[in-house]
Amino acid sequence: MNSMKETYAKKIKEEALRLGFSACGISKAEYLADEEPKLSGWLKENRNGKMSYMENHFDMRLDPRLLVPGAKSVVSLLYNYHNPDPIFGSDQLKISSYAYGEDYHKVIKEKLFELFQFIQDEIGEVGGRVFVDSAPVLEKAWAQKSGLGWLGKNGNIIHKKAGSYFFLSELIIDLDLAVDGKVTDHCGSCTACIDACPTSAIYEPHKVDGSKCISYLTIELKDEIPTEFKGKTENWIFGCDVCMDVCPWNRFAKKHTEPRFEPNPYLTQMSRQDWQDITEEIFTKLFKNAAVQRTKYNGLKRNIDFILK
């Protein structure tokens, strides 16, 4: 029986790599008892800011069997998006490198459905669901349990050989598979990310105050950006890469191999004045299939004006 679990796990990992995922790990679908006090404490301290959805489906976040009845395994995957050559200069307005190209939700979900189809073709009738940052799944906890990396002090998963420029995704399935173990933490005494955070959002190692994070302020927050952050957002108008860019482990990061993540050529030509004058028509042209659509035209304009006015 164990040999079948191992055979199936090996097949799934090989296919994941063939589809372009950088790494694949597996853990048992079970209640995340260790995560309950962490999540509960973070929410009680209002570190989620206006992200009230983080308070919803608390039990589902901790138990994947409530999302997928009969779930036995969580297959966690990393998909590289690293763009080592920034397309914006330090004095230009900037968007996070993960949003340079096509929306990752769409790209990765297509790959996950291919992997799920492979499992059904090769192994038989397997039930489950695919997830890409789109449901109450504690992705980082599962990535850790599946041996894909450790939780860095900036709250991101770090892979020892490849850094942290990855999207996380999961397949939660009712197939029993051989599981992987956790890896050890290798951040040591380094505080590069904490020291570099422009808004002091990393309030202690491994804990990020969502309400202060530039990614939250420029994407999740729908109200006006609080004036206390004026002059602190370092020209970021969508997301922020600072804590990743300074992480020593990202010296091992390699450029992605996904053509759909290549930047829209129009983006590289945007000057400060172009951003200031952006119209809804230009916004649509620049970000037609991109993650930046999430903030909508008015949201991006708010972010631009916060810096330039």
Low-confidence ranges of the chain (pLDDT < 70): 1, 42-43, 46-57
Residue-wise pLDDT for 234-258, tens only, equals: 999 999 999 999 999 999 999 999 9
Q: Beta strand 157-158 with 23-28: parallel, antiparallel or unpaired?
A: unpaired
Instruction: Please give the model's pTM, rounded to 2 decimal places.
Output: 0.93
Tell me what pLDDT residue 52 has.
57
Please confirm, yes or no, whether 121 is among the known catalytic residues: no
Phi, then psi, of 203 in degrees rounded to 5: -80, -20
Q: Which long-range contacts (CB under 8 A, 24 or more apart) does 7-11 make?
A: 8/123, 8/175, 8/177, 8/178, 9/177, 9/178, 9/179, 11/122, 11/123
Q: Which long-range contacts (CB under 8 A, 24 or more apart) does 46-54 make?
A: 46/211, 47/207, 47/208, 47/209, 47/210, 47/211, 48/210, 48/211, 49/210, 49/211, 49/216, 49/220, 49/221, 50/211, 50/220, 50/221, 50/222, 50/223, 51/210, 51/216, 51/220, 54/210
Domain stops at, among 127, 144, 173 = 173
> Which residue out of 91, 103, 121, 133 is catalytically annotated?
133
> Per residue in 101-126, is it b (16+ CB within 10 Å) or e — as a string?
bbbbeebbbebbebbbebbeeebeeb
62 and 161 belong to one structural domain? yes
As for how many domains the chain has, the answer is 2
158 and 118 belong to one structural domain? yes
229 and 167 belong to one structural domain? no
The number of C-alpha atoms within 13 Å of 147 and in the hemisphere containing its C-beta is 11
Contact 287, 301 (CB under 8 A): no
Query: Is residue 114 in some structural domain?
Result: yes
Q: Which amino acid is at 263?
A: P
Contact 180, 146 (CB under 8 A): yes
196 and 294 belong to one structural domain? yes
267 and 130 belong to one structural domain? no
Residue-wise pLDDT for 58-108, tens only, equals: 788 889 999 999 999 999 999 999 999 889 987 899 999 999 999 999 999
Query: Is residue 96 in some structural domain?
Result: no
Tell me what pLDDT residue 48 has.
58
CATH number at residue 139: 3.40.109
Beta bridge partners of 76: 25, 170
67 and 30 belong to one structural domain? yes
160 and 199 belong to one structural domain? no
Query: Is residue 186 in some structural domain?
Result: no
21 and 75 belong to one structural domain? yes
Tell me what pLDDT residue 60 has.
83
Domain residues for 165? 2-84+102-173
147 and 216 belong to one structural domain? no
CA angle, 72 then 73 then 77, to 5°: 165
Tell me what pLDDT residue 169 has.
97
